[in-house]
Structures are given as structure tokens and as C-alpha cells.
Amino acid sequence: MNAHLHLARLTGAASLQDGGRRGYLRFGLSASGPMDPLAFAAANRLVGNAPDAAALELGLAGASLRAEGGAARLALAGATSGLRLDGEPAAAHRSFILREGSELRIERPREGVFAYLAVSGGFAARSVMGSRALHQRAALGGLDGRLLREGDRLPLAASTTGEAEHGLDPIPLEPAAPIRVVLGPQDDHFPQAGLATFLGQTFTVSNRADRMGYQLDGPEIAHGPGGFNIISDATVAGSVQVPGSGRPIILLADRQTTGGYPKIATVISADFRRIAQRRPGETVRFAAVDLATATRLAREEAARIAALSSRLKPVEGEAERLMAANLAGAAVDALRAED
Amino acid sequence: MTHDAPRLLPCGDTAFTIEFGKRIDAHLSARVLALDAVLAARALPGLLETVPTYRSLTVHLDPLRADPAELGRAVLALAGEPLAAVPSTRLWRIPVVYGGEFGIDLEAVAAHHGLAPGTLIERHSAPEYRVAMIGFLPGYAYLEGLDPGLALSRRPSPRPLTPAGTISIGGAQALVASIAAPSGWHLLGRTPEKTFVPERDPVFLLRPGDRVRFVPTPAARWDALAAAAEAGELVAELCEG
């Protein structure tokens, strides 16, 4: 049997995601892809992958995985708390080798929501409509068009050899930072009092939160005389809808592509991961920025993702341990020369 | 005729919407589809995808390759020019089995409008519709062209699951549902045609701008048509030109 990771235990939601499925918005299909694009790219870069290779997304999840049929070079990034390799504590935000037969235990995160487990060479799921990303509601992509479950075997696209190991500084989750928005497209649908509530009050992420969207609890945002129905128009990633309840819903990676509730604002693309990493019960405050600022921040965020490769740091790993044991000095020198 | 001036509405740094109006109306829909065609022909740098709806066009963009404000102004200027209506060259004749288990609301809708069920079927299948938008769920085709005398607001409470292929109406809209989903609309019939098949090329049968006619089909033919569709055959008829 080819090398795979056996998902022996899973609590919480897990799916395969890649850079997303583009080009089908006009047919009613949103892109999917990672809820935290920076952490997802970091996990991939740590194992030498392209930043959009297929990786495992864990949402408030704990898991145990065993390497079967071969070794795997792995890295975990994003909302992480604790890792154990065959029972020994291990670190996130660095690459490591999971030997054949060894077990990786990932604890449920105590902060944030989404963690990404990337494997060198990526996972070998079938590409559907140009992507391996799961879109759960459309039952597309991922492993057989569904969330992962205990007992699944995740096939690896490539076998692993002994590359150098790398680390990255963890990405701060910033659970208290305001979520920046650009007002519109239907901000003129709301009276001044509704806008003041939206920008001045504190909301809480409710339990009705998934990859489609997060419904917020908190004060009611007043609608204008036009009420809470519009003739449906398109939504975008980060649209803030205000339905009849007056409590906003932030639309996310697997959102519906059109909707009939007015959208008071749009979360800027650079803060998409910040709202996605906010857990049920955590607070959300919004701050309006202008479009020029949002665009500048989008470019800075893209530069941050592009710079991940150059910020990888060699870490003490297998090679160093071998050298310490004075067994493989020459091999280590050769690895060093590649850095 | 005079038009409202189109408006540019920001949707964050990755999209904007050109709003032509706030009604469901054949003229607005035609202008949306015309702008969509103009943009498809221009290949503006940084423009990624467009989403036509009944009354607006949303443009998705890459903020690394285009300035959202500049691109928005450029597209707004195009929207303000006289837009030649795009002739749709594709007409789909879609078989529909009306009423009974296939359209459980047919009799109630007919009664509401004071029509015999057969008359409702005639009036629902008489017009040539146009696909104004596809959205909400993958492949859900919202049509423009419903007989205004058949319009009916949604049911007070939605049904938890309605089948794939459902042909329904809600307000002034007519719908071809691609997959099973909850719905608060009135179910008039069902088509055995599959409008969304991920493994097929094309994945989505209907495109925005396509014309659609419903062909009333006897319930006795359902099994054969459904079996053919299941085997990968097209049971809707495509008429080009």
C-alpha cells in the first residue's frame, strides 16, 4: 500500500483544502480554500510545498494520525496547542519526520480555530473542477466530497526523504484586534443608528459558525425603511449580511454566492483570517477603513505570504541529532550547503 | 427609454458591484448581461470573475494586479455607455413533469390564482425565459420572464428538503433547482435533466443569458427520462441559433 496517514482519532471538523476552486462564482459555487490563508501557506512552506498545495484543515479539532506505508515529512501551523510524536512533546510551526508506524497526536487548540497540517509533496486526493478543496455543501473535492472522519486514510502524493528541517515564527492570532471593514455595498440601506451600532458596539461569535459563515450575537443593528430584504445580489468572502434579526452574519470560504439580505460592510481581505480564527464566545469589534487602506493591507498580506519561504529558519532536527552522535557529519554538511 | 444611472458599490478590496437598479425586470437583466459580455470581451487586467444577477453585476478582482477603485471607475464608465443587448444563441427545451408528486404545490397555486391546474401549466410553460442569474447554491438557475399573473410570495415556512430538478416559483422569479435543498418556494414540477454534474463537461448545463422553455411531459415518461439522465444522456434539448 502507498504511503498514507491513517486518521485514527478525530474530534472536531477536518477537511482537505487547497488554494480553492476558482472560476465558478457565476455558476453559484464559492471557492472554498483555507479559512486562514497565511497559516495554510506557512504549513505548506515549512515542508517545501507550493503555498497552495492540498493540506489538512482542522477546525477546533484534535486528532491522532499514524504514518503507514512510509514516512511523512509534516508541519502544523495556525491555531495549535500541543503536539506529541509517539508520546514525546513536539513543536508546531516547524517541519518534522513522522516515521512509518509512528503516531502524531494533535491537541485541540486552546486559542484560535483553524490549524493546518501539511505534508511534503501534498495529499493525493482527486482534483474536482480544478481543485482538491472540500466544498461540503456541494459535496465536492476533499476526500470523497465530505469531511474527514476517523478511520480515513489520506494518501500522500510523494514519498519523503531526509530533507533539512525548518521553522517559522508562529503567526499571532490577535483575538482582540478590531476587524477592519469597508462599508458597503448596502450601507445606505441602514440608518445612522444602525451604522453606529455596527461600528461602535461589541459582538460575540455565536455557535452558529462554520466554513459558510459566522453568525454574531450582540446588539441588534437597526434596518432602514427598506427593511431586511433586497433583490438578491452577489456576496463576496467577508460580506457582512444583516438579516431580519439585526444580528450580522459574516460570509466565509464556503458561502452562498448570492443572498437577499442587505450587506452593511465587507471584511477586508487581510482580516479574513483574523475573523476566521475567532472562536464561538469570543468578541468582535468592527472598524471602518477606506478602500485605499484595505488595498494597501491586502498587498502587505500578500507580501507576508510571499516572504514565508525566505523566513524559514533551519532548526535542530534529525540531521543535528545525527551529527551530535557523530554519525553523519558529511551528510549534514551537504544539507547545510543547500540552505 | 431613460435609465437610472448605474451605481458603483464597494465590496471590500476584492470586488465591487455595478448596480443597475433594484427591481426584477427584463430591461435591467438585459443591461447586466450586456455589461457582462463587454467585460468578457475586454479581459481587463486584474479582473478575475463576474457574477450577473437580476439587477447588478459583481466584479471580483485581484487587488495585487488592479487598484479596486480604479477598476471600479473604469467598469462604471463602461456600464454608463449604451450597451448593445446580447442576443442569446442558446435555447434549452427542458422537459418538466408537472403536478402530483413531482409538483406538490401545483394545485394550491392554481387555486390561489383561480386557475385550473392545466391552465397554470400552460401559462408557466408558455414564455421563453432567460437565465438571469445562477446563485445561492451551485447551479441554481433563476429565470426572468415569469407571467406576472402567476407571481406569488413565498410559503410562510420553508420545506426542509426539496428534490434536485425542482421547478418552482417565488415572487416574480422562476427557478430550476440543481440539487436537493431546503426551499420556501412553490413547487410546480420537476425535470429529470441534471443541470449540475461535477464530472461532466460542461459541469453546469445552464449559463447566465441562456434562454429556457419548459416542455410539459407526461408523468409516464419520467422513469425512462430519469434513467437516461442518470446514464449521462442529455434529456433537455439544446437549440442553437
Domain positions in chain A: 4-138+153-169, 179-301
Residue A338: pLDDT over 80: no
Contact A125, A155 (CB under 8 A): yes
Q: What is the nearest CA distance from B164 to chain A, expressed in angstroms? A: 12
The neighbouring-strand residues paired with A204 are A217, A283
From chain A, the residues in CB contact with B24 under 8 A are 231
d(CA A106, CA A80): 8
Query: Please, which pLDDT band fits residue A235 given cuts at 50, 70 and 90?
Result: very high
Residue A327: pLDDT over 60: no
Which residue has cell 485581484? B62
Query: Does A232 sit within 8 Å of B69, measured CB to CB?
Result: no
Pairing of strands A286-288, A179-183: parallel
Q: What is the pLDDT of residues A145-182, one digit of tens each?
A: 999 999 999 999 987 666 778 999 998 888 889 999 99
Q: What is the nearest CA distance from B191 to chain A, expressed in angstroms? A: 19
A and B: number of Cβ contacts within 8 A = 142
Q: What is the pLDDT of residues A99-121, one digit of tens each?
A: 999 999 999 999 999 999 999 99
List the grid coordinates of B48.
478575475
Is the whole model's pTM more than 0.90, yes or no? Answer: yes
ipTM over 0.85: yes
Pairing of strands B90-98, B211-216: parallel
Residues 104-133 in B contacting A (C-alpha not used; CB under 8 Å)? 133
List the grid coordinates of A209.
459558525
Q: What is the pLDDT of residue A332?
A: 38
Query: Please, which pLDDT band fits residue B189 given cuts at 50, 70 and 90?
Result: very high
Q: What is the pLDDT of residues A302-319, one digit of tens each?
A: 999 999 999 999 986 544
Q: Supply the DSSP symbol for A334.
A: H
Q: What is the mean pLDDT of residues A193-197?
A: 98
Q: What is the mean pLDDT of residues B166-191?
A: 95
Q: Report the percentage of chain B scoring pLDDT > 70.
A: 98
Residue A260: pLDDT over 70: yes
d(CA A276, CA B5): 37
Query: Please, which pLDDT band fits residue A336 given cuts at 50, 70 and 90?
Result: very low
The residues, ordered by sequence, that sit 6+ positions from A322 with a Cβ below 8 Å of its Cβ are A328, A331, A332
Query: Please, which pLDDT band fits residue B109 given cuts at 50, 70 and 90?
Result: very high
Which of A171, A198, A173 lies closest to A183 in space, CA to CA? A198
List the grid coordinates of A231.
433583490
Which of A34, A288, A231 lies closest to B52 in space, CA to CA? A231
Which residue has cell 464556503? A254
Query: Please, which pLDDT band fits residue B3 given cuts at 50, 70 and 90?
Result: low
CB atoms within 10 A of CB A64: 16
List the grid coordinates of B229.
439522465
Contact A26, B39 (CB under 8 A): no
Q: What is the pLDDT of residue A1?
A: 56
Closest Cβ–Cβ partner in B49, B58, B63 for A299: B63
Query: Please, which pLDDT band fits residue B72 given cuts at 50, 70 and 90?
Result: very high
d(CA B222, CA B37): 37
CATH 2.40.100.10 corresponds to the domain A179-301 = yes
Residue B65: pLDDT over 60: yes
